[in-house]
Structure 1
């Protein structure tokens, strides 16, 4: 006949089972919040306890924590009130760049019992940046033979804000020869275009100076200006033409500085200085200018700095070929950066129990997350521990794992375990990260005294 388990042991077993059930009962719903950028640290976001259906004080009793990728904590929970607050002032442009919407993902971890809730914080833009031209002066060379209605694209202004807070319109100072038209690009940005309203006469006026103004959609709008210098040229009746309108190329992110990316080529049917070509970037961002350089004579585009796939995955630039007479032709170069396996997986420990009582099966030992910024197979990961240990790894939510005891531990048989958690990616070559933890088995009174002899 089996001896019934003590009530305390039965209670611990029931508690462990409840913990496991709650651990795997990860809700599919996502709590979503929205807040304006640049709000001060400690600003109210929402009442987390109310949104989770918890009573006053339950967040504290259940050990609520906010988890974010890479240990970057943007939020904090106030256990007493149940409020979710900003931990620091958030800059949307710093966190998301030109990505819109700007979504920061986080998780709510309730430790007792263990439960995960997924969360999203949308960071809304405020109009805290003014339009800015990369150059204080834009030079245009326009032939005096240009007909009315001819259009001349101008370089765009950049604005770190998004949506209606970015550049919405352009204006030009009053003059007799040109009016301005604002066009929409395929990527959603707007660019200015000068349209000739009255024919030019170089002998009458060899150059014009105008002021180009960019306005964003704020109220009141913020502005930025650049001077437009128009040089009126004698007749040159053939503009340069590129062999292709679109050049596409792929380049690995580990390509050395100075590597040839691609060569663009244009031709001009004119002779003399009117047929001599010079290549340059046109309407290119700071990112393009910092990463690439172009040979003005040959059209070779080469690397100026090392690329990083995890930072920028593609570049798009316009190349201008200008002849000696002031005419130009343009083409587009699209560069795709290909990934190499240059990032080892990372492991972030969220919960670690170094001391586990014996005789308690299915006990949570650790909770951790893994991540790898690489793409494709280079970013796919697998996680494992050594064989022949009484522990199991279980996945909780995507890239979050829980380490639990496989069965009841026996301190009298073994009082300490050294566990190595290994995370490896699927790239070539495979990169891995190892994390070592030590688990001590604490004693419970499960052995009665025993004599060494049955009789003396």
Structure 2
């Protein structure tokens, strides 16, 4: 402080800077969007300044260590923000916070946010929610029935994430996949195209493709296996005894048979599967109720009691074969049983055989019978003539008179040297 002649003084005040101004940022360049596969790309160029002086106006800028960026200082308080490596939009689509700190006392810092938009690149293909799908469809389904769906997602954005579905060609050209199923290209729904038959096709599999709309497009595949569930659409079929034969099969049972004697066994099959093919047997009708029984699980027909003379010799049984489906289907078979005193007793022909025996004989058979009778009669007549001539000669050997006989060749049949065959040959005129 100084005092002049006028009585005035001059005061010089030194203002000491305090660290009291916020840091300011000036953005000179900013790229609005960066492709995610772009390394070493300049994102922004900016400057920061502090109105304070001295150490209070000196600044440093930094970013988080885990960000894929580099902050490079250029001129005084100027920085360039560049990408350190390719970005991943699916991991993080927006960045970044810049922290600016001065070197004053006390140190002050501020944070500035720079929004960096990462644009999508088609670097992710569609991914199915499952590697394989198993779908069930009941046979005899109605056409266009929805039997299931497949689903795939794409973590890209925009058109790169839009997925379309398609059926892939089968390696087996004999399986007409295009006539069995179709797929909705937009939502992956699968609508059987035809009514499926379990007995013809129990299962089939194919592959489904999912493709995005990126450029170039990416795709993936999944296996789909379709299992046809059985429905009870086949009735039991009787293999034995045959029902379409011209003459029914007749079983013989001795009257001395003990209870439980095995008469026969009904054999049947069912084209369905599972419980739809489980068969049970029961006696539906019988000539003598209580005489026979049928085992429910194997179709064996057995006697239920001792046979008596009062039981009719001809028995007719009707056996019902039923499956275990819902609703159950059935078939019936008729059995003919003949009661005999023993297996040596002549077999009684069925009515059909008796009717056939009573029918007129075939003309050729008649001719053969007549020819055979004629030859036999001629042979017998020749033998009688020969015997008569021989007796006549022997009776007249000692008398003067002889039997008038035609000349011919005669032999003494009493001669042991003459064979019987020679007599017959001579009789027939064979020399």
Q: TM-score range by the shorter chain?
A: 0.3 to 0.5
Q: Which has the higher strand share?
A: 1
Rg (Cα) greater in structure? 2
Which structure would you say has the larger RCO, counting Cα contacts within 8 Å and 6 or more residues apart? 1
TM-score by length of 1: 0.39
TM norm structure 2: 0.41
